[in-house]
Amino acid sequence: MKSLVLKDLYNIGHNAKSLVFMLAILTIAIVPASGVGGYLVMCIVLCSMMTVTTFTFDDMAGWTPYALVMPVTRREVVLAKYGVLAVFSTAGAAFGLVTGGVVGAVVGEYDLSMSAIAELAVIALVGWAVAFGTGSIAIPLVFRFGAERARILLILSYLIPGALIAGVYGLLQMAGTSISHGMLTALLCASPLLALAWGGVMYQIACAIFARKEY
Amino acid sequence: MAAILEVKDLTKRYDGFTLDHVSFQVPGGCIMGLIGENGAGKSTTIKAVLDLIHRDAGTVTFWGQELSASSDLKEDIGVVFDGISFYETLTPAQVGRILGAAYRRWDDGLYKQYLERFSIPKEKEIKGLSKGMKAKLSIAAALSHRPKFLIMDEATSGLDPVMRDDMLDVFLEFVQDEEHSILMSSHITTDLEKVADYITFIHQGKLLFCKPKDELRYQYGIVRCGAAAFEQMDKADILAWRKEDYQWDVLVPDKEKARRLYKNVVVDDATIDDILLLYVKGERSK
């Protein structure tokens, strides 16, 4: 599986310069206007979306049949894509925290107090969870429809979790349960774990789809 | 010698095409050429053998084991497809690192030797390599984890005659070890005439024959004759025939017998191309 992840890192690494340049421009454009938090989430989501781009590279090169004749199972091929999603989401969070924090501090959008750092850390965790959760839906979609056709359907990967969260929130309100500030903070901090659990479900679906694919 | 690959009643159905109960064996220490016209089912056979498509019927075993039974079995199999399979911004050095992380027996020294032998620059992006270089890189990558069985689907089609000859030498070296074998599909039948020990001919999804190449070269013949001579020929002695502008070309399984029986006709040696053309474009005895 290491080789599969390494291949995607090399493939994307070639485009890393342009991605970093674009994110740097966005830092300057977004942070002074909208703050560090919004930029940070956007940074993580944009980086996580590179996972879909790796599928495009695979399709162009005819990689997948080659991967399947290597000593890996189909499940490992799928798992590697989730691994790559986690790596890209984490890299996006790290990059966003550093560049957003620096630019935010320079333009006065952000102070270096403990509460501000803690708030940014929570936003990074939530951003990571959003990116991993949505990316987890994108992977089975891409396995099913191919990278290009799935791009149109990727909106689903945002709508489905959004609708689920809104639905749960609505049910809680109907039941008269209010969420305290502490509970909300705990939920937000635990969101990466929820995203991982969600990713586990999506991984099983992606495996079932990929098992039927022919090359 | 025990079979390295055994394909039994391999069947795959698509709309408009069926790979129909194909069976053959690849013994150790040999090169088997897989021939057939475009769309005959060669690539489908290779894909089904490699579990890239689901079989509708039949079994495929390597050293007696199904490929799906153990991914470790793939350590012993090298595959070269028609095309490089790696994205064009990668370099041969990166390809080596990727495959080195995949195969337990990956031999980086051997890979570098192949790169040098084939004059492939290690740090040049794949998109800057010629088609021939890419084909050679694929072959180097397939050989460097020290497989025992090599499967190639039109792997040499991008190479010029000089490069192809170099590659054929590599393949012959590879099968010097009796535990090694190669299954290669190719349209370049002259290459197969040089190196193959067996020829498997698939036509319209069906196996026409799987025979030692020497039997085809030394026993099969083409009778060139007129209509009258053709009418006199015993149809039991004929495999296939084709009417050309001024003569009949008739494929016979025993050219010496044909020379003895039919004195007033020309009997030429049959090349694999001749055999393929007569089977595909000619008519066949029932």
Query: A146: distance to nearest CA of chain B, Å?
Result: 17
Cβ-Cβ contacts under 8 Å, A2 against chain B: 101-102
- d(CA A92, CA A27) in angstroms, rounded, equals 13
A70 near B144, Cβ under 8 Å? no
Kindly tell me the sign of the dihedral angle through the C-alpha atoms of B133, B135, B136, B142. positive
Which residues lie below 8 Å from residue A119, measured CB to CB, with a gap of 6+? A37
DSSP line for B193-259 = HHH-SEEEEEETTEEEEEEEHHHHHHH-EEEEE-HHHHHHS-GGG-SEEEE-SS-EEEEES-HHHHH
Using alpha carbons only, give the angle A37, A43, A49 rounded to the nearest 5 degrees: 140
* CA dist list (Å): A183 to A5, A48, A121, A179, A187: 36, 28, 17, 6, 6
Report the number of distinct structural domains present in chain A: 1
| A56, A58, A64, A65: CA torsion to nearest 10 | 110
The sheet carrying B31-35 orders its strands as B57-62, B3-14, B17-27, B206-212, B198-203, B31-35, B181-185, B149-153, B77-80
Query: A1: distance to nearest CA of chain B, Å?
Result: 7
Range of the domain at A34: 2-212
Quickly count: other Cβ atoms within 10 Å of residue B48's Cβ.
Answer: 23
Query: A175: distance to nearest CA of chain B, Å?
Result: 50
How many helical (H) and strand (E) elements, i.e. helices and strands, does chain A have?
10, 0
- d(CA A105, CA A97) in angstroms, rounded, equals 11
- Residues of B contacting chain A (CB within 8 angstroms): 47, 50-54, 71-72, 74-75, 77, 79, 81, 83-90, 94, 97-104
Query: A123: distance to nearest CA of chain B, Å?
Result: 35
Select from B47, B77, B89 the Cβ nearest to the Cβ of A215: B47
Site from A69, A72, A73, A79 to mutate, B interface, most B CB atoms within 10 angstroms: A69
Do A14 and B89 make contact, defined as CB atoms within 8 angstroms? yes
A16 touches chain B (CB under 8 A): no
- State the pLDDT at residue A84: 97
Which residue in chain A is spatially nearest to B126 when comparing CA positions? A61
For domain B3-215, the question of CATH label 1.10.540.10 is answered with: no
Both structure tokens of B156: 């040499």
- Rg of the Cα trace of chain A? 19
Q: How, if at all, do strands B31-35 and B181-185 pair?
A: parallel
* CA dist list (Å): B268 to B35, B215, B219: 21, 15, 11
Amino acid code (one letter) for B127 = K
**Which stretch of DSSP H or E encloses residue A138?**
helix A114-145
Cβ-Cβ contacts under 8 Å, B19 against chain A: none
A60 touches chain B (CB under 8 A): yes
Both structure tokens of B181: 């074998």
Cβ-Cβ contacts under 8 Å, B79 against chain A: 66, 69
- d(CA B147, CA B144) in angstroms, rounded, equals 8
- State the pLDDT at residue A3: 94
Do A69 and B104 make contact, defined as CB atoms within 8 angstroms? no
Site from A70, A77, A212, A215 to mutate, B interface, most B CB atoms within 10 angstroms: A70
Query: For chains A and B, what is the number of CB pairs under 8 angstroms?
Result: 78
Site from B44, B50, B87 to mutate, A interface, most A CB atoms within 10 angstroms: B87
| Per-residue pLDDT in tens (0 to 9) along chain A, 215 residues | 899 999 999 999 888 888 888 888 888 888 888 888 889 999 999 999 999 999 999 999 999 999 999 999 999 999 999 999 999 999 999 999 999 888 888 887 777 788 888 888 999 999 999 999 999 999 999 999 988 888 777 777 778 877 887 888 788 878 887 778 888 888 888 899 999 999 999 999 999 999 999 99
Select from A63, A70, A73 the Cβ nearest to the Cβ of B102: A70
- d(CA A181, CA B28) in angstroms, rounded, equals 71
Which residue in chain A is spatially nearest to B53 when comparing CA positions? A214
Select from A4, A60, A69 the Cβ nearest to the Cβ of B87: A60
A61 touches chain B (CB under 8 A): yes
What are the phi and psi torsion angles at B248 (to 5°)? -105, 135
**Which stretch of DSSP H or E encloses residue A114?**
helix A114-145
What are the phi and psi torsion angles at B184 (to 5°)? -135, 130
Interface predicted TM-score (ipTM): 0.89
Do A62 and B81 make contact, defined as CB atoms within 8 angstroms? yes
Quickly count: other Cβ atoms within 10 Å of residue B53's Cβ.
Answer: 20
- Rg of the Cα trace of chain B? 21
The sheet carrying B283-284 orders its strands as B266-269, B221-225, B248-252, B240-243, B283-284
- d(CA A62, CA B137) in angstroms, rounded, equals 15
Amino acid code (one letter) for A182 = G
A10 touches chain B (CB under 8 A): yes
Torsion-angle region of residue A5: left (phi > 0), alpha (psi -120 to 50) or beta? alpha
A134 touches chain B (CB under 8 A): no
Domain map (residue ranges) of chain B? 3-215, 220-284
Which residues lie below 8 Å from residue B186, measured CB to CB, with a gap of 6+? B33, B34, B35, B152, B154, B155, B156, B157, B192
- d(CA A184, CA A168) in angstroms, rounded, equals 14
Which residue in chain A is spatially nearest to B80 when comparing CA positions? A66
Which residues lie below 8 Å from residue B98, measured CB to CB, with a gap of 6+? A3, A6, A7, A10, B86, B90
Site from B43, B67, B85 to mutate, A interface, most A CB atoms within 10 angstroms: B85
Select from B85, B89, B90 the Cβ nearest to the Cβ of A66: B85
- Using 70 as the pLDDT threshold, list the residues of chain B that sit under it: 1, 286
Do A69 and B74 make contact, defined as CB atoms within 8 angstroms? yes
- d(CA B281, CA A50) in angstroms, rounded, equals 50
Half-sphere exposure of B224 (CA within 13 A, CB side): 10
Which residues lie below 8 Å from residue B159, measured CB to CB, with a gap of 6+? B132, B135, B136, B167
Which residue in chain A is spatially nearest to B97 when comparing CA positions? A3
Place of tokens 């939530």: A126
For residues A2-15, b (16+ Cβ closer than 10 Å) or e, as one string? ebbbbbbbbbbebe
A14 touches chain B (CB under 8 A): yes
- State the pLDDT at residue B1: 61
Query: A53: distance to nearest CA of chain B, Å?
Result: 12
Query: A63: distance to nearest CA of chain B, Å?
Result: 5
- State the pLDDT at residue B90: 95
| A200, A202, A204, A205: CA torsion to nearest 10 | 170
